[in-house]
Structure 1
Amino acid sequence: MAAFDFATGDVPENITVAADGSLTVSMVGAPAGERPALVRIAPSGHRTVLVTGEKGDGITGNARGHDGTVYYNVWSSDASRNGVWKLPPGGTPHRIAALPTDGLPNGLAVDPAGRTLYVADSQKSTVWAVPVAGGPATAWLVDPALAIEASAPVPYGANGLRFHNGAVWVSNLSKGTLLRIPVTAAGAPGRVHTVTSGLTGVDDFNFLSDHSDIVFAALNTENEIAVVYPNGTTRTVLTASDGLASPTATAVRGKRLYITDGGLNEPHDARLQSGKIDLGALLSP
């Protein structure tokens, strides 16, 4: 487990595991009124700041290409910064696609072919598609299932996003849903399928493995991790008693589960947690 200093802007929002076992963590910054950052954490625990953003902005979702390129979203009121950014290995960061400043780019994933990035927009009921090579963002899907629930206490709709088994999966925080959107042979969105509902305060999520549809979902406002099974049933497996503090995202490598805790509430206990997964206990609901 690694502790972060919330007061300095180390508010973990998203996590990606690399092939070498290192972690790329988005530090959103804004909740603490500090600059955001993108941080690499080596298996030894050594931290390297890859990118430092501007004060007032937030760094949200991040994803990794096969060649080690890191892609990440910047949420900013400045039209020159808001959008999807790219950090090539050994290179410098640059923006590859602008996004509307009245939106909120959140979850991010790259398709297995390495050609398209998908972005969940928490304000505009939209999943954007962005060419990995750069270029204009396209509204890949605009749908009520991605929208903000009018009565929701937290006004974020589409939140976490993963590309998995031929589909774009999206969580909707305000509706408490997990959605699966097949990608057709032409690259268009298929019919939106609600995998489950009742995931109050769901943020980002990830899968048990590349071949499994079992999901680990971070329930931010509930301080819980829920397992979601392919048939839609859910099970709470971790709670605040396990040290959860505003969990924002999960990642899996082998038998280890990683959780980022944003520490949004006092005492702002922002951290990275990890632990072994009991695979046998998760084979069925």
Structure 2
Amino acid sequence: MKKPFKLAAISATAAVIVSAPYASAATGQTHAQPAVTHVKTVAAFDFATGDVPENITVAPDNSLTVSMVGTPAGERPALVRITPSGHRTVLVTGQKGDGITGNTRGHDGTVYYNVWSSDASRNGVWKLPPGGTPHRIAALPVDRVPNGLAIDPAGRTLYVADSQKGTVWAVPVAGGPAAAWLVDPALAIKASAPVPYGANGLRFHNGAVWVSNLSKGTLLRVPVTATGTPGRIHTVADGLTGIDDFNFLSDHSNVVFAALNTQNKIVVVYPNGTTRTVLTASDGLASPTATAVRGKRLYITDGGLNEPHDAQVQSGKIDLGALLSH
């Protein structure tokens, strides 16, 4: 915060990417072939009305669920669905002063989302069943900032990044008290950080909870043990200044597309920790907050936090050959 393709073919190629050697970006190696091409605006928004994209989930029908955080513009937040044809439907409208942050999707189409609020009756994790009405399933204290959100593959547990208290919370999908699953200095806010957010983006991937720490510029991997407890924290990469939310090339690949909010960059983080910038402000990035991948298509939410406030969702085509040539 301040975030129809041939999947089998991609997964097979991604498996090669995971095990391939990578040259560090520090070597000065040039890349003539861009890894993401044909970047375009999928949807443009009016920042002044509170349409400030913060997070994104791609559904199986290729529709997008986008969290509009609202607060940077001093307006009400919203949860919006965008069809492949561009039609927009407001699923949820929040209260002025609140923010809607991370969102994720259950197997049955239920949308889960975080509300950040100073009102104890609203702060926490919410649920929107298909055709139903939104309701809160877990409360968080008002001094906690729920941000990134992910659901485990079994569809039983939601994991929440708390950007204020260096915590990952675990919430039963069925509802109930939130439990502090992991509290660790690696998730905390760095002292004197210009942007006071610690744990930010969060994904459940390949048996682990992955978390970004915006203030420390780190990407972390936390294995989930057989008993459901957190394993040892592994720093996948550091030096990722302003890292917000992120996502993976595929379900079988540990190649990450990360949004560097304050740098107006999308970087690829390879499994050995090396990085490569693939998009910049010259591609239209404007305070990127999150990424999502569907097949060969990369989606990016741009919060547009700075003038001229180009709040939008972008997409680009992933060139697997260029990624492999790194």
Q: Deviations over 1:13-32 (max 9, x none)?
A: 00000001000000000000
Among 53, 65, 69, the alignment partner of 1:28 is 69
Q: Deviations over 1:201-255 (max 9, x none)?
A: 0000000000000000000000000000000000011110110000000000000
Task: For 2:298, give the aligned amino acid.
Answer: L
Q: Identity rate of aligned residues, in percent?
A: 90
Structure 2 distance, partners of 1:284, 1:95, is 46
**Higher Rg:** 2
* 3-state SS in 2 of match to 1:161: strand
Structure 2 distance, partners of 1:122, 1:91, is 29
Q: Does 1:229 align with 2:270?
A: yes
- Offset, 1:151: 2.3
Among 127, 132, 150, the alignment partner of 1:91 is 132
- Offset, 1:283: 2.3
Structure 2 equivalent of residue 275 of structure 1: 316
Structure 2 distance, partners of 1:275, 1:159, is 24
Q: Deviations over 1:165-213 (max 9, x none)?
A: 0000000000000000000010000000000000000000000000000
Task: Work out which structure has the larger RCO, using CA pairs closer than 8 Å and 6 or more positions apart in sequence.
Answer: 2
Normalization by structure 1: what TM-score?
Answer: 0.99
Among 121, 126, 142, the alignment partner of 1:80 is 121
1:58-77 paired onto structure 2 within 5 Å:
58-77=99-118
Runs of 4+ in 1 over 2 A off after TM superposition: none
Task: For 1:134, give the aligned amino acid.
Answer: G
Structure 2: 5+ residue stretches without partners: 1-40
* 3-state SS in 2 of match to 1:231: coil
Structure 1 equivalent of residue 190 of structure 2: 149
Structure 2 equivalent of residue 192 of structure 1: 233
Q: Deviations over 1:81-118 (max 9, x none)?
A: 00000000000000000011101100000000000000
* 3-state SS in 2 of match to 1:140: strand
Among 136, 151, 176, the alignment partner of 2:217 is 176
Task: For 1:197, give the aligned amino acid.
Answer: D
Among 103, 106, 109, the alignment partner of 2:144 is 103
* Residue correspondences, number: 285
1:2-21 paired onto structure 2 within 5 Å:
2-21=43-62
Q: Does 1:205 align with 2:246?
A: yes
Task: For 1:19, give the aligned amino acid.
Answer: P
Normalization by structure 2: what TM-score?
Answer: 0.87
Structure 1 distance, partners of 2:143, 2:265, is 30
* 3-state SS in 2 of match to 1:44: coil
Q: Deviations over 1:31-51 (max 9, x none)?
A: 000000000000110000000
Structure 1 distance, partners of 2:322, 2:151, is 30
